[in-house]
Amino acid sequence: MRISKIAGLSALALTIGITSASALTLEEVKEQGYIRAATANEVPYSYMQPDGTSAGIGPDVANAVLKSMGVEEVTWTVTPFGTLIPGLKARRFDFAAAEQNISPERCKQVAFTEPNSSYGEGLLVKKGNPKGLTTYADIAKDASLKVAVVSGANNVDFLRAVGVKDEQIVFIPANADAIPTVQSRVDAYAATELTVSELAKGQENVEQVQPFTDPVVDGAPVRNYGGFAFRPEDKELRDAFNAALVEFRKTDEYKAILGKYGLSEQSIVAAAEKNVADLCAGK
């Protein structure tokens, strides 16, 4: 009987240990001296430079916010965009700093911070825009047209919402595959305006569609709101980071970071006008 009690107590202790270990706290991060973050290596949202240092909207803001929280070191992991949430849930890193759009579907899986950025949509096409595309809806009008999108990116939802059929959509692993894909087997690549702008820079065979009209979904033009993603069980850590982020958004340093990567004053202001609760509710 005594052995049974000890075994029971051991099992209880093990259960308590597993439960407490399942949530990462700010105190634990400070004790270990670093936090693990993920980037999808997409310019200008989050990427690694040739010298191994992080860069982009997400990493630059994350580094500044974490420093204000007393966390000096960030260990970065590069992972394909479509594996950011699975990797976070599998505890391969502690949060994602890739400016993922805050959407109801993603909110069911991860805990987002308040928005860190805001941006519209765009299309990358062959030089001269031979199909005369000006918006996602133009693709839906011609069933022979093909459009590429990164696996896991929410741009596919906007394409479908305006009538683009699944058989018209070609999924690619990363933004780096966009240019050769547009040149060889699709008519356009759908992504955010900043992604398309960066890809088109200095290119002779592709260009950004300009002017471009953002798709209208549920009666409103689509605008993305990027945030930092944490595991739901790491609520204390997420809340601490979120509070520090909200304060940092009030600074000139924050505005300078976003402006450096091409975000307009309008987009910077827009990021602070939305809240995560409404975005997760689809409002």
pLDDT digits (tens, 9 = 90+) for 21-57: 589 999 999 999 999 999 998 889 999 999 999 999 9
pLDDT tens per residue, range 106-129? 999 999 999 999 988 999 999 999
Q: Which two tokens stand for residue 36?
A: 């693990």
Cα 236 to Cα 35, 228, 243: the distances in Å are: 14, 14, 11
Cβ-contact 29, 80 below 8 angstroms: no
The distance from CA 202 to its chain's CA centroid, rounded to whole angstroms, is: 25
Nearest to 107 by CA among 227, 270, 245, 220: 227
Residue 266 pLDDT: 79
User: 275 in helix, strand or coil?
Assistant: coil
User: 92 in helix, strand or coil?
Assistant: coil
Cβ-contact 121, 201 below 8 angstroms: no
Q: What is the CATH number of domain 121-221?
A: 3.40.190.10
Instruction: Tell me which amino acid residue 234 is.
Output: D
The confidence band for 11, taking pLDDT boundaries of 50, 70 and 90, is very low
> Between 137 and 15, whose confidence is greater?
137
Assess whether the region 22-118+224-280 and the region 121-221 belong to the same CATH fold.
Answer: yes
**Residue 283 pLDDT > 60:** yes
pLDDT mean over 87-92:
97
- For the chain, give the percent of residues with pLDDT over 90: 75
Q: Which two tokens stand for residue 211?
A: 């002017």
Cβ-contact 115, 148 below 8 angstroms: no
Residue 1 pLDDT: 32
Secondary structure E strands in the chain: 34-39, 47-48, 54-55, 73-78, 95-101, 111-112, 117-119, 121-126, 147-150, 169-172, 188-192, 206-208, 216-217, 220-221, 224-230
**Residue 160 pLDDT > 50:** yes
- For the chain, give the percent of residues with pLDDT over 70: 93
Q: What is the CA radius of gyration of the chain?
A: 21
Q: Give 125's strand partners.
A: 188, 207
Q: What is the CATH number of domain 22-118+224-280?
A: 3.40.190.10
Helix H or strand E encompassing 252: helix 252-260
Instruction: Report CA dihedral (87, 171, 267, 112) to the nearest 10 degrees.
Output: -20
**Residue 4 pLDDT > 70:** no
The position carrying tokens 């999108």 is 149
Residue boundaries of the structural domains of the chain = 22-118+224-280, 121-221
Distance CA 130, CA 133 (A): 8
pLDDT tens per residue, range 225-240? 999 999 999 999 999 9
